[in-house]
Amino acid sequence: MKRDIIVYFGLIDYERENAMCQHVAGRRALINAIGYHPVIIGVDSCVPAGKFKKVDDDLYLINNPRTPKERIAECFPSNVFEKILKEIGVDRVKSLIMADYRLMPMARTFAFCQRNNINYIVDIMDRFTCGTSLVSWIKAIDSELRMKIFYPRITRRIYICSSYSRLLGESDKTAVIPGVAVETNKSEEEKEKIGKVSLVFLGVPGRHCEKEKIDWVIQNIYERRLSDRFIVYLGGVSKDEFVNNNKVLYKYLTGNIVFLGRLKHSDCIKLLKKSDISLVIRANTKLANYGFSTKIGEAFSCGIPVLATDTSDNAKYIDNEKNGFVVDCSYDSIGEILEKIASMPYRKIEAMKEHILRNNPLYYRNFIDDFAQVVK
């Protein structure tokens, strides 16, 4: 029987519309582009641990742990992936791509694939660091064990950024493939003229903006007296939540800082289309340098320039003043680039938008050959 299926697993939560939903859309497009049929394995908290749910022939769901007991259980070997592969038909599966997961179930699934002549590929996207909770420690330890013990044993590897090439090495069966854009989502509506450059941040910045340094943006706009030049839309956090965790920033929250709370993904796209610049402002941390924000590909797909700090491969895909801006990871650098943008004629930003729609460096077709050499 012809092996015509490539299976992709990741922590894809369609109910919550997490970032992996966008990531897997790009991977699915790449699988289709090389002539194979994609089958996706995602997660759902309603599925019991160790079980799976078949939604249809193209989508299966496993447990998304919510309780401490379930989080601990997912660290141990599980045959749930073997069950799904058997349900699909082992003799039809050409390759299984597994995004970052727990070491022991990944190792067991790798052994199963070896026994059944299935190409096993890892899609490496995160290198976690220890936080204050027990769960964060478990994730960080598991992540380091995978990096040092498991991933070096796997021949076929997809890296989300080139930091992993330096860490784990390169071969003819490895490739750097970030989160890619599948389609263009150019707005057909005329943008409302408000006389200000609209900046948009989508996501959760962390309790004290430790993940995304939107506090640098807010404070710089206030301190440099740029409130009449910018309006900032924050989708993903409410004003009450933000102020409760960042009381020292309250005085900087003038009328041009607009909190929208948590948004559906479709509403995020609508907001992006109406904005001028998307923000990806991360501190220079291990987590930032061993990841690649899906927000960059999402913004580019809408023809929106990105203002980002110089972490990971941001500077590889963001060309200053052509499709965005890349600056050092510092408070002062953010302030200086905001002053520069504030002094730009608006037609320069409009020209950047048109350039992105014609020349999207993250368009999935740019990565087809690299993807094929790893998974086929």
pLDDT for the residue 201: 97
Residue 191 in any domain: the answer is no
User: Which pTM value belongs to this model?
Assistant: 0.93
Exposed, middle or buried by CB within 10 Å (0-12, 13-18, 19+), for 31?
buried
What is the Cα–Cα distance from 187 to 313, expressed in whole angstroms? 27
Query: CATH number for the domain including 103?
Result: 3.40.50.2000
Q: Does residue 68 sit within a domain?
A: yes
**CA pair distance 4, 91, nearest whole angstrom:** 9
The b/e string for 107-118 (b: 16+ C-beta within 10 A; e otherwise) is bbbbebbeeeeb
> Which of 255, 264, 177, 250 lies closest to 219 in space, CA to CA?
250
25 and 168 co-located in one domain: yes
The answer to whether residue 190 is domain-embedded is: no
Q: Which whole-number Å values give the CA distances from 86 to 3, 32, 91, 136, 201, in the listed order?
A: 13, 22, 9, 33, 43
The pLDDT value given to residue 1: 72
Residues 137 and 12 occupy one common structural domain: yes
Residue 311 included in any domain:
yes
Q: Whole-angstrom Cα distance, residue 343 to residue 323?
A: 17
Of 220, 214, 324, 212, which Cα lies nearest the Cα of 275?
Answer: 324
Residues 114 and 260 in one domain: no
Mean pLDDT per block of 10 residues along the chain (376 residues) reads 94 92 96 98 94 97 86 81 97 97 95 97 89 75 94 98 97 97 72 82 93 96 97 96 95 95 91 96 94 95 97 97 97 98 96 96 97 96
Which pLDDT does position 354 carry in this prediction? Answer: 95
- Asked whether residue 128 falls in the same domain as residue 145, the answer is yes
The whole domain housing 87 covers 5-182+364-375
Q: What is the pLDDT of residue 188?
A: 59
Which has the closest alpha carbon to 204: 179, 178, 249, 241?
Answer: 241
Do 148 and 33 fall within a single domain? yes
What tokens appear for 338 in the block?
């905001």
Residues 168 and 223 in one domain: no
In the chain, DSSP finds a helix count (H) and a strand count (E) of 15, 14
- Number of domains forming the structure of the chain: 2
Provide the residue count of the chain.
Answer: 376
Cα(first)–Cα(last) distance of the chain, in Å? 16
